[in-house]
Amino acid sequence: KTQQKLYDVILMDIQMPIMDGYEATKIIKNDISEQVSKIPVIAMTAYTSKNDIKRAINAGMDDYIFKPFKPTEVYKLLKKYGKINEESNKAPEVIEKQLKFEPKKYINLKFIREETMNESSILALLIESFINDIDEFLEILDKGFKSKNWKLLHEATHKIKPSIRMFGISKLDQIIHDLVNRFREEKQLNNIDKRINLCNEILKDVKIELLTELKLLKNEQ
């Protein structure tokens, strides 16, 4: 995908399915095209050990950020690598006037827009990252339930919970919280399929809303 479209920066999730972030970064950094190999790669990881950080740097990653992260942390990294538009230096009161909180069925971007000072490039990156997380989560949710792998499901629901809150998906927040507890304790699982199906339905609608928002943001850049 990187060869088809050049990105300003890549937020690389280390714990990706099929190919982990380390291998993906090595492929990018060893690309014959300098345009591709020079793209900054920022590791996103839930691990904080020195060995994991060292491994990320050795793989060719330019920097790292720990999950769950705040939009302001992403802002600082993008500013560090020169990927922030000049307009992002506008006075806060000017930005406040430009904030648009159009009602959505599920997502509420008020918090994340305020945290990023309504910088469209950061918002787009965060939304793209969350969309990828949703795809991965739904895949794990399906496989985990079919195999009754409650530990895997607990890890997946726990991992996505901060993003659910960051994007203001209040209708899903309590459901995810409940699933995290049930999967952790491996109790009250008789009718868990109903909650999983509801979670699936909501997240598919959330993804549509995010893709719509992403398209609008791309037009702003």
Which domains does the chain carry? Answer: 1-67 (3.40.50.2300), 90-220 (1.20.120)
Q: So what's the pLDDT on residue 59?
A: 85
Alpha helix (H) residue ranges in 59-119: 71-80, 92-98, 110-115
Task: Give mean pLDDT, residues 31-48.
Answer: 78
115: pLDDT strictly greater than 60? yes
Q: Residue 173 CB: number of other CB atoms within 10 A?
A: 13
Direct distance between the N- and C-terminal alpha carbons of the chain, in angstroms, rounded to an integer: 20
Residue 89 banded pLDDT, cuts 50, 70, 90: very low
C-alpha distances out from residue 130 to 17, 112, 200, Å:
15, 12, 15
Sheet (strand 10-13) strand order? 10-13, 41-45, 63-66
Q: Residue 157: pLDDT above 70? A: yes
**According to the model, what pLDDT value does residue 179 have?**
95
| Helix, strand, coil tally for the chain in percent (to 5) | 65, 5, 30
Asked whether the predicted pLDDT for residue 92 surpasses 70, the reply is no
State yes or no: pLDDT of 6 exceeds 80. Answer: no
Whether the predicted pLDDT of 103 surpasses 60: no
Is this structure's pTM higher than 0.75? no
